[in-house]
Structure 1
Amino acid sequence: NCLTAAGAVAGAGADAIIWADQHGDLNTPETTTTGFLDGMALATVLGLCWRRMANQIPGFKPVDPSRSVLVNARDLDAAERELLEKLPIVRTECPDWKSAAQRLKADGARQVHMHVDLDVHDPEKLQANRYTTPGGPVPEQVRMAMCGLAGPLAIAGLTISAYDPAFDPKGDVPPLVGELVVDLLSTLESK
């Protein structure tokens, strides 16, 4: 699930994060309307909530919101929208990844963690779980954006989350995730 990103960020010593997700995952225990922990995952990585728990992870340091890129978030709660107006989180859509990469580089990001929640995809083209909202990028757009972001940046780690085979009766998701990982590794290898 998305909360695994906190451990992966700590393990990689990441000082920046790319978060591709249809949700903001920026709720806190005070703002959530559902209590869904995954909806607090990016907020945890940024040190906005669950600080005592996150500090128990060896090596965990919250990522500065100015070194955070939120890709294709389209299903946001009111509190998340309000928070995004206050925090310097870079928001982008898949085709517009270049300026986000330039911003992270300019801000001195040295070790970037990439998190891809598969529900970022347009559910008409790829449905990986039950948490879907209409719209979003097609798999090729996600793959191009993630590889484009990985090209100029030092990617230290990757988490891929939220696959539920019950919502993928044809088994479309695993091969497409495999393509994404292979293309990302090829991008990193060619640096």
Structure 2
Amino acid sequence: RPAAGAGPGPGADAIIWADQHGDLNTPETSTTGFLDGMALATTLGLCWRAMAAQIPGFKPVDPSRCVLVNARDLDAAEKDLLETLPIIRTECPDWKAAAQRLKADGANQVHMHVDLDVHDPDKLQANRYTTPGGPAPEQVRSAMCGLAGPLSIAGLTISAYDPAFDPKGDVPPLVGELVVDLLSTLEGK
């Protein structure tokens, strides 16, 4: 998959990860060695520690301050890991409880990562890495804005767009709506 994200910016103490994949593999658990499938694991300090330590200002995010939104295509090792880590799992319509948990835990600076393959490919296909199901664009937009409302968003990553899988050009305007709505939400605080 194209760039799954570089992790939170300096000062981020929580992360919202909207993705159809868990991206929680490590070099020890990955069956493919695909680095993008390790992005969230790296952000949480579960792997690639020496490499991540070279990034100025990088500090791993505590797994209890991670919200994983609509992850539905998980490897067996990721499923096992999710049973042991206090990662907050949610679906788009249920964002309120996740936001309340982060806020109650004292999250001050939240990085938001939206991998466009989180969407239902029947509603919006952004790349070739698709799994049936998932939310419609308006559900993703509503959830991300809902999460951003009560939290302090310090950074945003939008990833994994491949125009070859978007012959009608549907993705860019919908991403534009997402960004505008997120900025309006943040400005309205």
Q: Give 1:84 deviation, angstroms.
A: 0.2
- In the TM superposition, 1:51-66 aligns within 5 A as 51-66=49-64
- In the TM superposition, 1:48-87 aligns within 5 A as 48-87=46-85
Segments of 5+ residues of structure 1 without an aligned counterpart are: none
Moved over 4 A (4+): none
Higher helix share: 1
Q: Which of these residues, 103, 109, 115, is aligned with residue 107 of structure 2?
A: 109
RMSD over aligned Cα atoms: 0.6
Percent of pairs with identical residues: 87
Q: Give 1:69 deviation, angstroms.
A: 0.2
For the Cα contact (< 8 Å) 1:10–1:57, is it kept in 2? no
Letter in 2 for 1:3: G
For the Cα contact (< 8 Å) 1:55–1:61, is it kept in 2? yes
Count of residues in correspondence between the two structures: 187
For the Cα contact (< 8 Å) 2:145–2:185, is it kept in 1? yes
- CA distance in 2 between counterparts of 1:36 and 1:63 reads 22
- CA distance in 2 between counterparts of 1:3 and 1:39 reads 10
- CA distance in 2 between counterparts of 1:125 and 1:160 reads 18
Q: SS of 1:23's equivalent? A: coil
TM-score computed with the length of structure 1 as normaliser = 0.97
Q: SS of 1:41's equivalent? A: helix
TM-score computed with the length of structure 2 as normaliser = 0.98
Segments of 5+ residues of structure 2 without an aligned counterpart are: none
Q: Give 1:58 deviation, angstroms.
A: 0.1
